[in-house]
Structure 1
Amino acid sequence: MNLTFRKVALIGKYQRLASDAAALEKSRLALEDIGRFLVEQGCEVLLEDESYANTGLQGYEVATTEQIGMHAELALVVGGDGTMLGAGRELARYQTPLVGINGGRLGFVTDIALEDYRSALAPILHGDYEEDERPMMRARVIRGSECLFEALALNDVVVNRGSTSGMVELRVEVGGVFVSNQRADGLIVASPTGSTAYALSAGGPMLHPSLRGWVMVPIAPHTLSNRPIVLSDSEEIAIEVVGGRDISANFDMQSIATLLHGDRILVTRAEHSVRFLHPRGWSYFATLRKKLRWNEGGS
């Protein structure tokens, strides 16, 4: 069978592992083994430059994220969901499909177990796969007429208080229409992908990835009737800081601290989506059963 993906990028953990020799060696060995497998399959391998800096792995062309987006036909992400989120944000604009090999723990979007990658990856390289498109969020922090910060998020946008401060008060609008003033520890706006992350632990619902919507979830709200709500992602969500101290906004762990009263966080659907490829027969519900340990002890 002919290869569908000949030029394949290999991406490991973004954070430097120099302080953890065991983790560094594990990452290097995993990338080395997968790289060798790709070459055996007839692929040309591009090693992402941060992965090279982390592991020093030799024998492959080293490429920046931009070069991967322009030239790679597929990107393999080896690590946890955080690594996959970072790769997705960077490569979405190029429409580069991503395959996640789980070298972390939970792995909602890095769904191929490291020990099973050979049997799962070979059919994908030859064009036998399920494709799963995930929308992204575009968020901006506005102070007066100035945009202080802009970022893409695949999981969520979170506005919350510091560890030692009291509640925050936030004014929320959806599509230019006032919704409510919320007094809580914070507020999460999550995509379907992010609905199984922080939003889930804060009591929000899970959204199927095919839905074009967001979930807005208050964190420990002052009023118990303040409940999560599912919204269309075609409308802009505006969150204004009205009260509280030591407030920050986080975009998939990208942070801006010290928000002031009057600052506004604007959330819209991003122009591009992330393309995930899964082994044939992949099911979102099977992922939930496995990761959330549903039906344990049952059939």
Structure 2
Amino acid sequence: MSLSDAPKPSQPQARQLLRFSHVVIIGKYQAPGSRDVVEEVAHFLHDQGCDVSLERDTALNTGLNQYPALDVPAMGKTCDLALVVGGDGTMLGIGRQLARYGVPLVGINQGRLGFITDIPLEEYPDKLRAILHGEFEEDARSLMAASVWRDGRCVFEATALNDVVVNRGGAASMIELRVEVDGHFVANQRADGLIIASSTGSTAYALSAGGPLLHPAIDGWVMAPIAPHTLSNRPIVLPAHSEVALEIVSGRDASANFDMQSLTSLLHGDRIVVRRSEHTLRLLHPRGWSYFDTLRKKLHWNEGG
């Protein structure tokens, strides 16, 4: 009997070889063609022997109702892998919510940059198949817990994976912030705003504000001013166990943004407190993944003339 004639393993046998058997798909359903991509990936997972579910909004907006539709608590309780088909924004949105459940995430890049959704769409079958069977690199990313305090009362709370940004509104004037780290006064800073970024967020807004790149293994935050009045006011790297407090001293229409996906308006005297979250995000990458490969590709290094 030739190898081609040998019986193929049944799906129950194939499932026993899987590291992850129940996978939920979170799609960038606003993007053109996303329905076809999500459906294709769902078929692929099913063929690998996985139970497949869709995140509730993904199911609703793609019309793929042949799969169970789950909200975040249900995903956290029943799924052992979350697969993001989209860009970094999609990953940020769902990652903050799933981190508390310890569900690992994998990203298939259907966006543009893709620093944390790092599997190219055209390469997903081979790379995802290997991950499903336990061939991967795991990467833990710290989150930030932020709160806004007004007259001694917490009026807003949010979690961020990339950054917390306090900036001015549409007015042409700067804002002034009193900055404290671990209860110690740092400075009153006049600028267009201030960014507190994790190592994950060091490749986002903080980078455009002149901040350094932090390797994800570095347990630190970047505090970077946006267009500061005093040019000696430079970005600084802080230990991630620090507590940073920002107080609005002056300026109009200031606001706080969290991963640029949620925001709140601020008043004079408001304090924004940023601490390390008790939760971390588990990211899985293909075997052999390197942060430096990602930087070289996404930032177009080695392309100079």
Aligned sequence identity (%): 65
Question: 2:93 is matched with which residue?
Answer: 86
C-alpha spacing 1:297/1:119, structure 2 compared with 1 (3 Å) = farther
| Aligned twin of 1:3 | 18
Unaligned ranges ≥5, structure 1: 18-22
Structure 1 CA distance for aligned equivalents of residues 38 and 248 of structure 2: 44
Provide the residue aligned with 1:260 in structure 2.
Answer: 267
Describe how 1:1-299 pairs up with structure 2 within 5 A: 2-13=17-28, 17=30, 23-24=31-32, 26-296=33-303
AA matched with 1:261: H
Residue by residue over 1:32-55, the C-alpha shift from the partner in whole angstroms, topping out at 9 and shown as x without a partner, is: 000000000000001110101111
**Greater mean deviation of Cα atoms: 62-71 or 217-226:** 62-71
Amino acid at match of 2:27: G
Give the distance between the partners of 2:260 and 2:279, measured in 1 at CA. 20
In 1, the alpha carbon distance for the partners of 2:264 and 2:80 equals 37
Counterpart code for 2:24: A
For 2:42, the aligned partner's letter is G
Aligned length: 290
Coordinate RMSD, CA, aligned: 1.2
SS in 1 for 2:39: helix
Report the CA distance between 1:256 and its aligned residue. 3.5
Return the offset for 1:145.
Answer: 1.4
Cα contact 2:139–2:283 (8 A) shared by 1? yes
- Partner SS, residue 288 of structure 1: helix
Q: Deviation string for 1:78-98 (max 9, x for gaps)?
A: 101000001110100001000
In 1, Cα distance between equivalents of 2:95 and 2:109: 15
Alignment partners' CA distance in 1, 2:182 and 2:285:
35
Distance change >3 Å, CA 130–CA 223, structure 1 → 2: same
Counterpart in 1 of 2:6?
A: none
**Can you list the C-alpha shifts for 1:109-157, whole angstroms capped at 9, x where unaligned?**
0000111100110000000000010000000000011111000000000
Task: Using the TM superposition, give the Cα deviation of residue 258 of structure 1 relative to its aligned residue in structure 2, in angstroms.
Answer: 3.0
Provide the C-alpha distance between the structure 2 equivalents of 1:255 and 1:122, rounded to a whole number of angstroms: 34
What is the distance in 2 between the residues matched to 1:253 and 1:296? 30
CA shift digits 1:146-192 (9 cap, x unpaired): 11100000000000001233100000000000001100000000000
Q: 1:119 to 1:97 in 2, by over 3 A?
A: same
Counterpart code for 2:18: L
Q: Which runs of 5+ in 2 are unaligned?
A: 1-13
Larger radius of gyration: 2
Distance 1:43 1:100 in 2: 17
Tell me, in whole angstroms, the C-alpha distance in 2 between the residues paired with 1:83 and 1:254. Answer: 10
Aligned-partner residue type, residue 217 of structure 1:
A
Query: Which letter maps to 1:4?
Result: R
Alignment partners' CA distance in 2, 1:182 and 1:53:
46
User: Is the Cα–Cα contact under 8 Å of residues 171 and 252 in structure 2 kept in the other structure?
Assistant: no
1: distance between equivalents of 2:119 and 2:107? 6
Q: Structure 1, residues 261-283: CA drift from partner, whole Å, max 9, x if none?
A: 11000000000000000000000
Give 3-state SS (helix, strand or coil) of 2:125's partner: helix
Separation in 1 of the partners of 2:263 and 2:106? 30
Deviation at 1:297, TM superposition (A): 5.6
Distance 1:249 1:255 in 2: 8
Q: TM-score, normalised by structure 1?
A: 0.95
